Amino acid sequence: MEPGNQIRVLEFLLLGFSQDSEKQHILFGLFLSVFVVTVLGNLLIILAISSDPRVHTPMYFFLSNLSLADIGFISTTVPKMIVNIQTQSKSISYAGCITQMCLFMVFGGVDTFLLTVMAYDHFVAICHPLHYTVIMNPCLCGLLVLVSWFTSLSYSVIQTNWVIPHFYCELAQVLTLACSDTLINYILLYMVTGFLGFVPFSGILFSYTCIVSSILRIPSAHGKYKAFSTCASHLSVVSLFYGTGLGVYLSSDSSSWRGMIALVMYTVVTPMLNPFIYSLRNRDIKRALQKVFARTLCVHRWEHRSKGFELTVIAVVG
C-alpha cells in the first residue's frame, strides 16, 4: 500500500456570520430580500432589453449578459447561505462546495470580462462614431460574449481542517484546509487571478483614457456633458465591482468582520445595485421598463375584464 493521505472529505462547514439565534432571523430576512430584489431587478433588465427593438444595440446586448451573469453570481452563494440559516445547519457537501466554487469563478470572471467589453464599446462609440456600426457588428459582439464565457469557464476548470470561516466556498480558504502541498496551487491561483484581473482592468483604463482624451476635444460644454453621461452608469458599476473586489482580495484577513463586509459588498450588494444604476441613469432602459409595465398592466386589465364578462354571461344564462 502506497503511503499518502487517506482522508476522504465528505463535507465542509461554513461558519457564516453570527451564532446568535436572534441575529440569524434578521440575517435570513435581509439576505432573502436582497436575493429576491437582485434576481427580479436583473430579470426586468433582461426582459426590457429583449422586448424593446429600440434597445437591440451592442451596449444593451452586453448589459443583458451582465445581468444574466449577476443573477448567476448571487445565486451561487446566497441561496445556500439562506438555507443554512433557516435550517441551523452549517454543512455543505464536498461536491456542493466544488460546484459552488467553480460557478462563483465562472460568473465572477464573466462580470470582469463583460465590463471590459462594455468599456471597449464606449470607446468605439465615442472615439470612432462613424465606424461604430461597422466595428461593433453582431458577429464581433457575439464573439466577445462567447470569449468572455469560455475564458471564465476555462479558468474555473483550471482552479479546480473542514471549517471555512466564510458564508460560501472560496478557493483560497479551501486550499488552506488541504493536507497536501498546495504551493503550486497558490502560485497558479495568484498568477491566473492576477492576469485575469490585470488585463481586463488595463483594458478598461486604456479605453477610458482614450475616451476622456476625445471628450476633452469636444468644443461645446453640452457635448462634453452628453458624452460623459453615456459612460456614467458603466463607470459607477466598474468602480463598485473593482473597489469591492480589491477590498476582498487585498484584505489581510478575509475571515474578519471587515473581510466579511467586503465579501458581502462584492458578492451580494454589487449584483443588486447594477440594475438600479443602469435603470435610474439610462433613459432607454426607463422607456423599455415602462413599456414592459404598460404591457403587463394592459394584460392584467384585459384578463380582469374578461373574467367579469364571463361572470356576467353566466349570471344571465343562469
pLDDT tens digits, residue range 158-197? Answer: 665 434 444 444 555 554 545 444 555 556 666 766 677 7
- Does a structural domain hold residue 208? yes
Highest mean pLDDT among 152-166, 173-187, 246-260, 268-282: 268-282
Portion of the chain with pLDDT greater than 90, in percent:
22
> What CATH number did the domain enclosing 156 receive?
1.20.1070.10
On the question of pLDDT at 42 being above 60, the answer is yes
One-letter amino acid at 247 equals G
- Does a structural domain hold residue 213? yes
Rounded to 10 deg, the angle between the 221-249 and 270-280 helix axes is: 170
The closest alpha carbon to 158, from 134, 190, 203, belongs to 190
Q: How far is CA 128 from CA 118, 122, 207, 295, in A?
A: 15, 10, 12, 37
* d(C-alpha 152, C-alpha 266), whole Å: 18
Number of domains in the chain: 1
pLDDT in tens, 1-15: 444 444 555 555 555
Helix (H), strand (E) at residue 242: helix 221-249
The closest alpha carbon to 233, from 173, 280, 302, 181, belongs to 280
- Does a structural domain hold residue 112? yes
- Does a structural domain hold residue 287? no
- Does a structural domain hold residue 309? no
250 phi and psi, to 5 degrees?
-100, 0
* d(C-alpha 292, C-alpha 48), whole Å: 6
pLDDT computed for residue 143 by the predictor: 96
Mean pLDDT of 97-125: 88
281 phi and psi, to 5 degrees?
-110, 15
- Does a structural domain hold residue 311? no
Beta strands at 91-93 and 163-164: parallel, antiparallel or unpaired = unpaired
> In terms of residue numbers, what domain contains 144?
11-281
Helix (H), strand (E) at residue 125: helix 94-127
Mean pLDDT of 33-48: 92
- Does a structural domain hold residue 292? no
Polymer length in residues for the chain: 318
* d(C-alpha 6, C-alpha 3), whole Å: 9
- Does a structural domain hold residue 286? no
Q: Which set of grid coordinates corresponds to residue 48? A: 426590457
Mean pLDDT of 115-142: 93
Q: What is the pTM of this model?
A: 0.78
